[in-house]
């Protein structure tokens, strides 16, 4: 499958890893939009929020446990978690991912 994040999971494309376990990977966004900008992804390919089902949703709960842990480790108390679903919402990589944004005052959602 031609998926850049599956390639990052497989180690075929390098990333600056923040956290990894059997089911979840987190790495620094290559084009940071905030002082802290980390992507947290399930290792399994899920195309986006629209593809979350009862069969795969457990990993999403785990993603959010990891998000809380990473935010604490990064020292950000206030932060934003964003996932874009679909091209019109700004999704450019069609592998479910959650942006952790923090380290500055974030302002209103656009
Ligand atoms: P989205 O636009 O919500 O689909 O987010 C995709 C994010 O992936 C963007 O913020 C990109 O900067 C980021 N990105 C794309 N390629 C890489 C890469 N090789 N390593 C790290 N982040 C990446
Ligand atoms: Zn993928």
Tens digit of each residue's pLDDT (9 = 90 or more) over 15-71 = 999 999 999 999 999 999 999 999 999 999 999 999 999 999 999 999 999 999 999
Select from 107, 106, 110, 83 the least CA-distant residue to 35: 106
pLDDT at 60: 98
Is position 97 annotated as part of the catalytic site?
A: yes
- Per-residue pLDDT tens over the stretch 55-90: 999 999 999 999 999 999 999 999 999 999 999 999
Task: Tell me, letter by letter, the H, E, C secondary structure of 14-35.
Answer: CCCEEEECCCEEEEECCCCCCC
CA–CA gap between residue 76 and residue 55 (Å, rounded) = 32
For ligand 1, residues with CB inside 6 Å are: 4, 13, 15, 27, 29-31, 39, 84, 90-93
More confident residue, 70 or 1: 70
Relative to beta strand 24-28, strand 36-42 is: antiparallel
Closest atom, ligand 1, to C-alpha of 83:
3
User: What is the reported pTM?
Assistant: 0.98
For the chain, the C-alpha Rg in angstroms (whole number) is 13
């Amino acid at each position: 499958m031609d998926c850049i994040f599956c390639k990052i999971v497989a180690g075929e494309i390098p990333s600056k890893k923040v956290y990894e376990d059997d089911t979840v990977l987190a790495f620094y966004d290559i084009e940071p939009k905030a002082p802290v900008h980390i992507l947290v992804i399930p290792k399994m390919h899920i195309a986006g929020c629209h593809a979350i089902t009862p069969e795969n949703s457990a990993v999403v709960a785990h993603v959010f446990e990891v998000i809380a842990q990473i935010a604490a480790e990064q020292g950000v108390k206030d932060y934003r978690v964003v996932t874009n679903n679909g091209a019109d919402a700004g999704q450019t990589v069609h592998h479910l991912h959650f942006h952790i944004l923090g380290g500055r005052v974030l302002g209103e959602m656009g």
